[in-house]
Structure 1
């Protein structure tokens, strides 16, 4: 379990995290939603230790974050950032191998090779494992990067907008894979999403943020609430029910028409 207590961070006078308190439950997909500048990516950065907080604490399974050695932390939490450009010409398998670095330090063991094979198979990349990542489609490349995270074999997987630049087919495919990370491999996934309806469809828990604060958290049914979303996004929403789930219809109140 990840516990975030009284977390604060600012850049100069800009507050990006404002007394954030949150508990991430194990064995679930938790989606962070909110407008640009809400603090979603910064929160992931602090939890992953890529960023330092000004005050507050993060606890991993009851242990204070700062008391865990970096090498041990890398075996507990993996993060995939928004931009993952590697200029070196690597094959898919070579990229996935980097995920084992916290365990192998470059000297791959039999167990490391097995974990790499499992990650490649899980992400359905076996047929292209020897192909250069520079020659992959956007969806294939993103699966390769997530395979690297799977090979790292951490309990917690943090993903910052992994659906960027993916078409609908690949986005849905990616979310199904992430659900399987939880269901089949026992991972806990925390993901930043821009598409509210994707969050409503695939997440178990949603955290809505605005101006560095958590406005509301709960099940998709609880968060897909007009009053909540209108406030979070400063936009007029219409919530519709489809097959037992709630979804957003984006429209302008004054014109009563769907935005295209």
Structure 2
């Protein structure tokens, strides 16, 4: 679905990503992990065509992503970013409705309105749907932004640290929704800091370190004692408790 070949991204002459070659498996949930500053968000925004690339290429279904018309790409790819400016006096429903704009150009049909309401319900936002964004908590606003991304119904969904600011109940909701997207035939990539969540929810893991690909593959092959200890430069133990893998630092 998305292939990255020899990618380099630089800001002010400093390379953030170097010689990166990887792919997002189609129809799978891919977790992107690594220490702070590893380039996780930069990789995600480059794949979402929001960050210019220095060299290399990114392919979407075999075509250079830069050659795809913006209107067409917006119907097929959606991205949740850590910081998205929003107008505070929008309601939750209004914000989520913007996710349908690439499809409707501001003229939603009954089917579009149903998709909007489904996104509201899936993220447990029904009781807040008509409230203004500036009356909500940070976590509630974050879920509303995620609802806008879901309403876009892209073939590829890119999520940059969507669990930040969320309590454990709503973090679980977001991971359930991510799995539902896979069941609907979509491809999802999600930047995660919680390695236990990556181990138990993701089909595929990409680990970055110092702007380069450290490792990639199934969670059981990437999220190991040795691999994680090297990735984070600290001792990490992987345990299994009641059939679930738990990542422990010592």
TM-score bracket relative to the smaller structure: over 0.9
Give how far 1:222 is off: 1.0
| Stretch of structure 1 that moved more, 31-40 or 81-90 | 81-90
Asked if residue 18 in structure 1 is aligned to residue 18 in structure 2, the reply is yes
Root mean square deviation, CA, Å: 1.6
Question: What residue is the counterpart of 1:200 in the other structure?
Answer: 199
Q: Distance in 2 between the 1:241 and 1:113 partners? A: 44
Question: What residue is the counterpart of 1:150 in the other structure?
Answer: 150
Q: So what's the TM-score if we normalise by structure 1?
A: 0.90
Q: Distance in 2 between the 1:52 and 1:205 partners? A: 26
Question: What residue is the counterpart of 2:208 in the other structure?
Answer: 209
> Which structure: larger Rg?
1
Question: What residue is the counterpart of 2:233 in the other structure?
Answer: 234
Question: What residue is the counterpart of 1:2 in the other structure?
Answer: 2
Q: Distance in 1 between the 2:148 and 2:155 partners? A: 14
Equivalent residue of 2:197, what SS?
A: helix
Give how far 1:82 is off: 0.5
Question: What residue is the counterpart of 1:247 in the other structure?
Answer: 246
Equivalent residue of 1:26, what SS?
A: coil
**CA-to-aligned-CA distance 1:113-142 (integer Å, 9 cap, x gap):** 232223223333333321222223444332
Counterpart mapping for 1:75-224 below 5 A: 75-183=75-183, 185-224=184-223
Question: What residue is the counterpart of 2:28 in the other structure?
Answer: 28
Q: Distance in 2 between the 1:213 and 1:114 partners? A: 42
| Stretch of structure 1 that moved more, 83-92 or 147-156 | 83-92
Contact 1:77 1:156 in 2 (8 A): yes
**CA-to-aligned-CA distance 1:190-247 (integer Å, 9 cap, x gap):** 0111111111121111111001111111111111212211111111112212233432
**CA-to-aligned-CA distance 1:129-160 (integer Å, 9 cap, x gap):** 21222223444332221111111110111111
Q: Distance in 1 between the 2:131 and 2:200 partners? A: 33
**CA-to-aligned-CA distance 1:24-68 (integer Å, 9 cap, x gap):** 112211010001111110011111011110111111111221221
Aligned residues: 250
| Stretch of structure 1 that moved more, 137-146 or 193-202 | 137-146
